[in-house]
Amino acid sequence: MTDTDPKTACVHAYIAAFEAQDAAAAAALFADDATVEDPFGSEAVCGRDAIHAFYARAMQSGARLALSGPVRLAGDAAAFPFTATVAAAPGGMILDIIDVFRFGADGKIVAMQAFWGPGNVRTG
Amino acid sequence: MTDTDPKTACVHAYIAAFEAQDAAAAAALFADDATVEDPFGSEAVCGRDAIHAFYARAMQSGARLALSGPVRLAGDAAAFPFTATVAAAPGGMILDIIDVFRFGADGKIVAMQAFWGPGNVRTG
């Protein structure tokens, strides 16, 4: 992995968008017809406008993201482990998540899947 | 996550199969018509016999696996970050990998995708 790889740069931009609470910046990383499954197995959010709304809601919690290991690059995908910390939750809440982004030829995310469940939520 | 969840137990059994250098034990975790994409984006290995042969080859390196974060459970899937350490390689070699297992109703793995690339290989 190098940070100059565009897929890795996209992951860092995604984390920075949360840090800045900038849902538009997050949505801009996605293709027009992208899909978001968060968590994986739930109904997909389809299209950039819906994705923008999804991130606007998600960011209302004040969640901050931090990588908990290196970004893995394979084929058209990036996969990365991270924590989402919600300081505003009672006692503080930390979620352990793995995201998989798949990219189109133009470098936009075409599909995002977030792997986490109730057992991945802890206080901290 | 609890270790009694059958998907999480399967992940631990997979790691234990590598520890025991037991390709048959690894293959037994998969459905008859399962697919393995390792790394993601490469041609899939299809069917349990081919998967058995794939793990027999993979284990010839003496690789040992260790979780580097919690198993994430979502929908029919488990995703987990781990290291594969190949002590026999010159200088030692460590790969940072994320695997995604998808499970059938009988608890067998029906699809495995391993996310790692050249940038995820380091000495250690």
Q: A87-122: per-residue pLDDT in tens?
A: 877 778 999 999 999 999 999 999 999 999 999 999
pLDDT band at A3 (very low <50, low <70, confident <90, very high): low
Say if the Cβ atoms of A75 and B40 lie within 8 Å: yes
Query: Does residue B76 carry a catalytic annotation?
Result: no
Mean pLDDT in residue range B62-80: 97
Model confidence at B71: pLDDT above 90: yes
Chain B 11-40, residues with CB within 8 Å of chain A CB atoms: 39-40
A55 catalytically annotated: no
**Beta strands of A38-106 (E only): which ranges?**
45-46, 64-67, 72-74, 77-86, 93-103
CB contact under 8 A, B117 and A79: no
Task: State what percent of residues in chain A have pLDDT above 90.
Answer: 88
Taking the CA of residue A21 and the nearest CA in chain B, the distance in Å comes to 25
Contact between chains at B72 and A116 (C-beta distance less than 8 A): yes
pTM of the model: 0.95
Q: Which ipTM did the prediction report?
A: 0.94
What average pLDDT does the structure give for chain A?
95
Contacts with B20 (C-beta within 8 Å, 6 or more apart), sequence order: none
Residue A72 burial (CB < 10 Å; 0-12/13-18/19+)?
A: buried
Token duo for residue A124: 């901290």
Q: Which candidate, A103, A25, A90, A22, places its Cα nearest to that of B41?
A: A103
